[in-house]
Amino acid sequence: MTRKLFGTDGVRGRANTFPMTAEMALRLGAAAGKFFRRDGSIAHRVVIGKDTRLSGYMLENALTAGLTSTGMNVLLLGPVPTPAVGFLTRSMRADLGVMISASHNPHQDNGIKFFGPDGFKLSDDAEAEIEAILAGEIDLAEADQIGRARRIEDGRGRYQEFVKTTFPPGLRLDGLKVVIDCANGAAYRAAPEVLWELGADVIPLGVTPNGTNINDRVGSTHTQTAAEAVVAHGADVGICLDGDADRVMILDAHGSVADGDQIMALLASRWAAEGRLRGGTLVATVMSNLGLERFLTGRGLRLERTAVGDRYVVEAMRRGGWNLGGEQSGHIVMTDYATTGDGLIAGLQVLAEMARTGQTAATLVDQFATVPQMLKNVRFGAGSAPLEAEAVKATIAQAEQRLAGKGRLLIRKSGTEPLVRVMAECEDEALLTAVVDEIVGAVRAAV
């Protein structure tokens, strides 16, 4: 079965525009309810979390209506990180978890992500089945079997207590000054509170959400604000989360940024030394830097690459029995702790190394020399297929020939935005720039 509505991370789009309308959210909720009630039983429940976007209220209500109309009982968590939904779906014995968020996107966008009863995101096949149900008539529950909805007041607190259990016993963060940038998003209360309870001197940023300022010049995709705060306050480290807190970037005391590749290199090497890295393997996507692969190979470890998207990283980890993976963009997946990327837990792992070793963030998150890499995005309109244009195909073929034996090239459509992503790696930076610019020019011309 094929998927059209679902992308690499659920359903996503501009709020109040298809497919992110109240009507579609209601039908999607009903379709998901029917999918999970196929056995005909009535004791089904679903947990719903959201980030801080204004449109979250609209979509939350619509999803609740759709789910209860098919007999699902709904537990509303309010603003919580995406990994909290994965955790609470399993902890509360729910059949389904739903997160309303567009992650790092601006407030005008929103999205809906589904989690199964095991706390992991639904598979492509499950999403395709929900789409098939959505396309037909959806049977509603009898009047006496309509579901109920209630708010869960302590969902965030349950998640926070769990997160603290992932920090090594006996360690504290006393003496560490930490800038935490919550992107005015879902972790705006959870992250500062956890850090403070573990002993850190906390400088919070992005903790005043108003519905429209999520990811606005703050967070993991806009690290400059946090970098300035780190330097101004003389902080030891900065932790930048995105809007739903499943991504993280680490800043050292000078404000320099370490991405997911450097964080994964640190964790992989330390876990391997402790005998904790299952199969001696780290799972990452095709976007991860060649330098990371060389770093791992030099230590007798292995990099398993997947398609872009943390869901594909997790699927590969589960198939192979591996326990560490992630993306250059900051999704760090540690299945010993969580079922999806968790920016706060990943940040705590870095802080734990600082507390344990006494080393600075600058030392810990500078694990390898990166191979020069360039990524440029080209936005395209609805109905456009620039990668199908013959001129674009020819330009890409020429670029591959020029890079043969010298680097690598990756061209793909984003699964969450109408963008063509052009990425290349090459030791020869002049060649790197020329190749990327030529392809970008060809794609723009096609658009």
By annotation, the residues acting in catalysis are: 103
Which helix (H) or strand (E) segment holds residue 100: the answer is: strand 96-100
What count of other Cβ atoms lies within 10 Å of the Cβ of residue 100? 29
The b/e string for 178-208 (b: 16+ C-beta within 10 A; e otherwise) is bbbbbbbbbbbbbbbbbbeebebbbbbbbbe
Q: Are 308 and 415 in contact (CB under 8 A)?
A: yes
In sequence order, the 6+-apart residues with CB closer than 8 A to the CB of 311 are 8, 9, 121
Phi, psi of 305 (to 5 degrees): -95, 145
Strand order from edge to edge, sheet including 96-100: 11-14, 109-115, 96-100, 45-50, 73-79, 149-151
Measured over the CA atoms of residue 372, residue 378, residue 379 and residue 385, the dihedral's sign is negative
State the Cα–Cα distance between residues 97 and 405, nearest whole angstrom. Answer: 46
Dig out the tokens for 236 from the structure: 């030891």
In sequence order, the 6+-apart residues with CB closer than 8 A to the CB of 379 are 417, 418, 419, 447
What count of other Cβ atoms lies within 10 Å of the Cβ of residue 244? 36
State the Cα–Cα distance between residues 312 and 327, nearest whole angstrom. Answer: 10
CA angle 62, 65, 68 (to 5 degrees): 145
378 forms beta bridges with: 420
In sequence order, the 6+-apart residues with CB closer than 8 A to the CB of 363 are none
Q: What is the CA radius of gyration of the chain?
A: 22
Q: Are 113 and 10 in contact (CB under 8 A)?
A: yes
SS3 65: helix
Q: Are 97 and 85 in contact (CB under 8 A)?
A: yes
Dig out the tokens for 381 from the structure: 């309109």
Which helix (H) or strand (E) segment holds residue 124: the answer is: helix 124-134
State the Cα–Cα distance between residues 353 and 194, nearest whole angstrom. Answer: 17
